[in-house]
Amino acid sequence: MNLTGQLLISMPSLEDERFFKTVIYMCAHSKDGAMGIIINKKIDYDLYPDLLEQLGIDKPLGNKKLFIRYGGPMESGRGFVLHSDEIIRQETLTINKGIALTSTSDFFEDLSKGNGPKYSILALGYAGWAPGQLETEILSNSWMTLSADSDFLFDEEVNNKWSKAYNLLGIDPSKLSNHSGTA
């Protein structure tokens, strides 16, 4: 199973408040573990003025849009930019066609000058799993998976993204069972 470039959608029964009704874009998934960015939890600019100043993103970005998200509970003071791939740096992780991840001060500086990619999400922190942990959580009925496209990923309307993800699956989350079995 390789979920790189896929979406993880939390099941309604997932009680961990850090992941309740979350949609996570999977940036990496291998036998060594997994890493993703929560894309549907907004952070208000006003909550992090010092951090944004440190990253060089305390100024208007010209005509570029930058969305700030709570990326996950791991390294929540570190910034990651999930972005369209028309601008790639040596240290950029290309995830899927059209989507990449970068976390360098030079990239943040380009963003602050309005020279960054067309679409970007600045995430503070990330979601991470140890080897085999994510697979166990999926088997325990904590997550659904969905192929992602950049339109969904970079859609600035995040309040209903969890419900929209279930709609794309053709599932009404209120009708899902909280229990699963194995055969």
Q: Which fold has domain 6-175?
A: VC0467-like (3.40.1740)
pLDDT value of position 163: 92
Lowest mean pLDDT among 23-27, 34-38, 73-77: 73-77
Lowest mean pLDDT among 40-49, 67-76, 150-159: 40-49
Structure-model confidence comparison of residues 183 and 96, the more confident one: 96
Predicted confidence band of residue 155 (pLDDT cuts 50, 70, 90): confident
Q: Supply the pTM of this predicted model.
A: 0.86
Q: For the chain, what are the domain ranges?
A: 6-175
Tens digit of each residue's pLDDT (9 = 90 or more) over 63-95? 555 567 899 999 987 889 999 998 888 889 999
Predicted confidence band of residue 21 (pLDDT cuts 50, 70, 90): very high
pLDDT value of position 150: 85
Tens digit of each residue's pLDDT (9 = 90 or more) over 111-130? 767 777 888 888 989 999 99
Query: For every residue of the chain, which 3-state class applies, written as one string?
Result: CCCCCEEEEECCCCCCCCCCCCEEEEEEEECCEEEEEECCCECCHHHCHHHHHHHCCCCCCCCCEEEEEECCCEEEEEEEEEEECCCCCCCCEEEECCEEEECCHHHHHHHHCCCCCCEEEEEEEEEEECCCHHHHHHHCCCEEEEECCHHHHCCCCCCCHHHHHHHHHCCCHHHCCCCCCCC
Q: Is residue 176's pLDDT more than 90?
A: no
